[in-house]
Structure 1
Amino acid sequence: MWDNGFFLKKEINWSLLTQGCPITLDYQMAFMQGIHGQLHRGDSQEITIIFEGMDHRVTLKNQAFSEVDYPTHKDILQLRYGSNSSFARALQQVFRENFSYLKALRAQRAAGNRRLIQLPDDQKAYLVLYGTSQPGVFWVEAITPQDQREVSEYSAHLDEHRLEEEWQALSKEDGSTGIVEKVGVRKYRHLNAAIGQDLKVLYGYRCQICGAHCGEAYGVKVAEAHHIDYFVKSLNNNASNQMILCPNHHRIVHAAKPTFLRNERLWVYPNGLREGLTLDVHLVKNNTSRGDIY
Structure 2
Amino acid sequence: MTSAVSDNRLAVLDHSRLRAKAQAKGEGRGHISVRDVHIEFKHKGGMRPAVQNADLEIKPGEFVCLLGPSGCGKSTLMNAIAGFVKPTRGELTVDAKPVKDPSPDRGMVFQQHSLFPWKSVKDNVAFGPLMAGSSAAEADSVARTFLSLVGLAGSADAYPSMLSGGMQQRVGIARALANYPSVLLMDEPFGALDAQTRVMMQENLLEIWREFKNTVVFVTHDIDEAVFLSDRVVVMSASPGRIIADIKVTLPRPREQALLTSPEFMDYKRQCLGLIRQETLRAFQQQNGGH
Structure 2-normalised TM-score? 0.29
Higher relative contact order at CA 8 Å, sep ≥6: structure 1 or structure 2? Answer: 2
